[in-house]
Amino acid sequence: MAKRWTNKLTRSDVTPEPIFMNRRKLLAGLGLGAGAAGLGGLTLGAMPGAALAQDDMALEPNAWDEITSYCNYYEFGTRKDDPAQNAHLLTTEPWSITIDGLVDKPGDYALGDILSQMTMEERIYRFRCVEAWSMVVPWNGFELADLLDMVGVKPEAQYVAFETVYRPEEMPGTRYPVLDWPYVEGLRLDEARNPLTLMATGLYGKPMPNQNGAPIRLVVPWKYGYKSIKSIVRITLTDKQPPTSWNKAGPSEYGFYSNVNPEVDHPRWSQASERKIGGGLFAKKVPTLMFNGYEEEVAALYDGMDLKANH
Ligand SMILES: Nc1nc2c(c(=O)[nH]1)N[C@H]1C(S)=C(S)[C@@H](COP(=O)(O)O)O[C@H]1N2
Ligand SMILES: [Mo]
């Protein structure tokens, strides 16, 4: 299969130094104090510092250590370093994905059988968390559209729902009701079929580390990071908009679409700029780009839509 989308990223310097930021305030709002949820770390608001021009958003991938040590994977804890500490507990072999709902060929598909039919690519994508930090990640994976074609999507299908594996015995973070487990996410079918939408199985040409969502996760680079659901065990085609974990946890703060948009602030913080992980605490505050820099590729999906109402 031909490569249908090409990166337009160029290189600039990025130096390593992780920072810590979490959703302590939201958790506090849910009645989960830092102690109750086992939280730690420092909550940083927008930091001072000159915003760089958008040309400086030209990108070099973050270091392996940055990508694999500064993670959000709440099933393994809410601190950024918890997943790297705890995710080794997750068994990722054997692995299969149940694909069901409005498809021609529903079933439990062994991951190896899926991969043998997919075209693997490297995609260097910007990755923008709703918490206003960002990285650049060299993913390995295949287009979700190819998997959907493999199983055959029925004409009535309008949405794709995803579910993360839920194994309390392997996931110490699920002792806490931070989210309603299992973690679930969803996309509109046309978003799922967009060539940018990736099912990722690796980083830097190596198998996906557990903390980053082994053995297979979604990557939707124009949306806030929480849409990129990890360790997927179920994909369901449906004609109804599926529930999503962060929307259930905070409906006024996290919508279904969750497109990166510098003009639509989070109710409690600005989304106009972001801190690049690896830039150091007081450097590299950069303006956030519409659709995280993928406007050309995805803006047409939302023609005529009120992006504030549909945040
Ligand atoms: N199952 C699951 N998927 C998840 C999350 C999570 O807590 N659980 N966190 C999300 C959030 S908020 C972000 S920013 C990204 C982080 O991906 P990374 O740790 O590989 O950078 O994963 C997303 N996918
Ligand atoms: Mo995130």
Give just the sign of the alpha carbon dihedral 101, 103, 104, 107.
negative
- What is the reported pLDDT for 284? 66
Cβ neighbours for 238, distance < 8 A, ≥ 6 positions apart: 101, 102, 157, 158, 159, 160, 161
Task: Calculate the dihedral angle through the C-alpha atoms of 279, 224, 126, 27, rounding to the nearest 10 degrees.
Answer: 30
- What is the reported pLDDT for 146? 98
Domain boundaries, the chain: 11-302
SS (H, E, C) 85-112: HHHHHCCCCCCEEEEEECECCCEEEEHH
Give just the sign of the alpha carbon dihedral 236, 245, 96, 144.
positive
Task: Report how far residue 38's alpha carbon sits from residue 244's, in angstroms, rounded to the nearest whole number.
Answer: 23
* Ligand 2 center–CA 73 separation, angstroms: 9
Residue of 20, 21, 62, 72 best suited for mutating to test ligand 1, as the one with most atoms within 8 Å of CB: 72
Is the shortest distance between the CB of 129 and ligand 1 below 6 Å? Answer: yes
Please give the average per-residue pLDDT across 278-307, as a whole number. Answer: 91
Assign 51 a pLDDT band (cuts: 50, 70, 90): very low
What pLDDT, in 10s, does the model give residues 71-124? Answer: 999 999 999 999 999 999 999 999 999 999 999 999 999 999 999 999 999 999
Token pair belonging to 48? 């001072």
Atom of ligand 1 nearest to the CA of 231: 1
What pLDDT, in 10s, does the model give residues 228-276? Answer: 999 999 999 999 999 999 999 999 999 999 999 999 999 999 999 999 9
Give the range among 42-56, 81-95, 156-170 with minimum mean pLDDT. 42-56
Helix (H), strand (E) at residue 160: strand 159-164
Q: Cβ(36)–Cβ(134) under 8 Å?
A: no
Closest CA to 187 of 74, 23, 298, 22: 298
* Ligand 2 center–CA 45 separation, angstroms: 15
Residue 82 CB: number of other CB atoms within 10 A? 23
Atom of ligand 1 nearest to the CA of 213: 20
Task: Report how far residue 283's alpha carbon sits from residue 19's, in angstroms, rounded to the nearest whole number.
Answer: 12
- At which residue do the structure tokens 């287009």 appear? 143
Smallest CA separation from ligand 1 atom 8, residue: 73
- At which residue do the structure tokens 């799922």 appear? 192
Antiparallel, parallel or unpaired: β 96-101 and 232-238: parallel
Smallest CA separation from ligand 1 atom 11, residue: 226
Task: Give the residues across from 223 on adjacent strands.
Answer: 259
Q: Cβ(256)–Cβ(186) under 8 Å?
A: yes
Backbone angles phi, psi at 227, to 5 degrees: -70, -20
pTM value is 0.85
CATH of domain 11-302: 3.90.420.10
Please give the average per-residue pLDDT across 146-167, as a whole number. Answer: 98
